[in-house]
Structure 1
Amino acid sequence: MCNLYTERLGPDAVAAHFNVRNPLASNAGAEVFPGGTGMVVREEGGERIMQSMTWDFPVRLKTMAPTAKPKAVNNIADLEKGMWKRHAVNPRGRCLIPLTGFAEAEGPKGSMTRTWFNVKGQPIFAWAGLWTDDHQYGWGPVYSGAMTECNEAIRPIHSRMPVLLVPEEYDHWLHGSFEDTVAFQKRCFPDDLIEITRTDELWVKKKMPKPAPDAPATLF
């Protein structure tokens, strides 16, 4: 599970990296937690745009009571299953999640600390994601990131990792076939591209409140 990532360089740097033509001021936080607001790059009308969305997808499980609220899901375990395939088969439902690092908890229970990961030589990189504008539950624009089996660099800390993309892969994720998206989730990201930074910052779980129904989206 990835439950914390950062985007610390701001909208202008993100726009330059992802070839977004008209960035505006961002309301996305530098540290992004599930349920919080993050910055997403997607395509519309043949151009890349930046948009702030909620990091959580509403998901209803078959075992839930008809009146139960949907479950918030911020990580995608398997693109070939259920609702994820429905979104992934259409390139319009894919997005790039800009980040400067992601964190996992490490250490003994009760005193776990943040361990950060980034891609070597990439001040900004991308997490392969899906997005939708949810009207059924009134959550508005939401996104989630695809996860995969960890590589050997991360394995001592966690068994899973985000599906990371380098710049030459961005178009492939956004425009490739459904089979291409699945291939990204099944590949092993190179060990030598991962940089690890251990800290003494305590790991504190943080869950942001869900957006109000029909909350307005912010375009960049």
Structure 2
Amino acid sequence: MTNLYRLDAPAGAIAVAFDAEAGDDPWTGDYVAPGRPAPVIVSDGRGGSRRFLRPRLWGVPPPPQGTRPVTTVRNLQSPFWIGTLRHPELRCLVPATAFAEWSGAQGAKRQHWFSVASRPIFAFAGIQRQIEDWPGFAILTTDPNRLVAHYQPKAMPVILQAEDHDRWLTADWREAAALVAAYPGQSMTVGDAPP
């Protein structure tokens, strides 16, 4: 399960890459772990004609029986998630430059960094929730492609193709749900350190 990624680009460069307005987002580039702030891209809620960079915390409030923030979404049929997923204005793009997975036996785990070869900044499919004063986001996951499965057989983040960004932010759920799939492994790279 992904619980660490990097976004090694400042807010201005992210805004340019996603045709978004950065506003006064202070992001300068760093790693992102659960509970840490990071920028996400949201649409204006009116057909997605404008996009904005917004700071959010990685993790959304847990379900009633939970105690820890939820950072990834896997069960798309869960009553806890379906209401959020059906509303395009609650979906977001989560910019990243690489994500980490671990492999190996307990006590001897190795970290591996995955990136998209042709895109220095790419986007995960995300959702956002704000309950009281907790503006957070979570990343959707899916079955891993062959490259990621070699290191992490359980899941990988949903990486969106650039041409699908608008669909994720604006389409009805039936159309957007079709985007929840593994990114082609042949278009990715892996190494022991972030690219």
TM-score normalised by structure 2 residue count: 0.90
1:42 aligns with 2:39: no
Relative distance call for 1:164 and 1:158 in structure 2 (3 A) is: same
Alignment pair present for 1:171 and 2:163:
no
- Choose the corresponding residue for 2:69, options 55, 72, 76: 72
Quote the residue 1:191 is aligned against.
185
- In the other structure, the counterpart of 2:138 is 144
* Structure 1 residue 82 corresponds to structure 2 residue 85: no
CA contact 1:29–1:37 (8 Å) conserved in 2: no
Q: Which residue of 2 aligns with 1:30?
A: 30
Q: What is the SS of the residue equivalent to 1:115?
A: strand
| Partner residue of 1:95 out of 87, 92, 96 | 92
1:29 Cα deviation from its structure 2 partner: 5.6
> How far does residue 80 in structure 1 lie from its aligned partner after superposition?
2.1
Counterpart of 2:21 in structure 1 is 21
Does the Cα contact within 8 Å between 2:156 and 2:182 map onto a contact in 1?
no
Q: Report the Cα distance in structure 2 between the residues aligned to 1:111 and 1:78, rounded to whole angstroms.
A: 30
Structure 1 stretches lacking a partner, 5+ long: 200-220
Give yes or no for contact 2:21–2:53 (8 Å, CA) kept in 1.
Answer: no
Identity of aligned residues (%): 28
Preserved contact between residue 103 and residue 109 of structure 2 (Cα < 8 Å)? yes
- The aligned residue for residue 181 of structure 1 is 176
1:106 to 85, 88, 103: 103
Cα shift at 1:182 = 2.1
| Aligned counterparts of 2:190 and 2:19: Cα–Cα separation in 1 | 28
State the 1:25 CA deviation: 4.2
Q: Tell me: higher relative CO, structure 1 or 2? Use CA pairs within 8 A at least 6 residues apart.
A: 1
Gaps of 5+ in 2: none
Alpha-carbon contact 1:28-1:39 (below 8 Å) kept: no
Instruction: Give the Å deviation of 1:28.
Output: 6.9
Q: Which residue of 1 aligns with 2:120?
A: 123
Which residue of 142, 146, 157 maps to 1:162? 157
For 1:108 and 1:70, the matched residues in 2 are separated by 27
Q: In 1, are the aligned partners of 2:96 and 2:123 still within 8 Å (CA)?
A: yes
Which residue of structure 2 lines up, in the alignment, with residue 153 of structure 1? 147
Aligned residues: 190
What is the CA RMSD across the aligned residues, in angstroms? 1.9
Deviation of the 1:121 alpha carbon: 0.8
Equivalent pair of 2:139/2:157 in contact (CA under 8 Å): yes
| Bigger radius of gyration | 1
Residue by residue, what CA displacement relative to the aligned partner does 1:106-163 show, whole Å, maximum 9, x if unpaired? 233213222000111100000000002212xx4x211000000001111111121000
Residues 22 and 52 (structure 1), Cα distance of their counterparts in 2 relative to 1, 3 Å cut: closer
